[in-house]
């Protein structure tokens, strides 16, 4: 396995996030909770979608629209954070959500213990 100083990511938004995380000394070796969001063109999301998502990811939560933001569905993956994992999860969940007007294209995780900042 490459150490974090040897990792190279694509020249895209997600790659930029990984470079920023690497520069800040983020732990890219140990498993952690990774939060993903699914945004929808209409609220609420279809129950068929929610059932399918829950079948694949046990930690799913709905965040209904509020005054300051649109609603979304959040789910958690506990794994070692890698670029390939993020791309795979976003693509597979976006494919699942597409018939329901949804897309998964945001993610984040907490950087602990030095900071409470979320990335992405």
pLDDT score for 111: 67
Close Cβ partners of 43 (under 8 Å, ≥ 6 residues apart): 64, 65, 70, 71
Lookup: tokens for 67: 């005054």
Smallest Cα–Cα separation from 105: which of 20, 40, 55?
40
pLDDT score for 25: 87
pTM equals 0.85
Tens-digit pLDDT string for the chain (120 aa): 444 445 788 999 999 999 999 888 888 899 999 999 999 999 999 999 999 999 999 999 999 999 888 899 999 999 999 999 999 999 999 999 999 999 999 999 986 544 444 444
């Amino acid at each position: 396995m490459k150490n974090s100083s040897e990792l190279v990511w694509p020249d895209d938004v997600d790659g930029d996030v990984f470079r920023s995380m690497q520069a800040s000394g983020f732990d890219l070796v140990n498993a952690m909770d990774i939060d993903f969001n699914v945004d929808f063109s209409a609220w609420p999301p279809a129950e068929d979608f929610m059932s399918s998502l829950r079948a694949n990811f046990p930690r799913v939560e709905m965040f209904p629209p509020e005054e300051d933001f649109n609603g979304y569905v959040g789910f958690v993956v506990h794994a070692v954070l890698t670029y390939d994992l993020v791309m795979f999860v976003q693509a597979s969940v976006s494919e699942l959500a597409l018939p329901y007007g949804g897309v998964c294209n945001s993610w984040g995780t907490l950087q602990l213990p030095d900071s409470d900042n979320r990335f992405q």
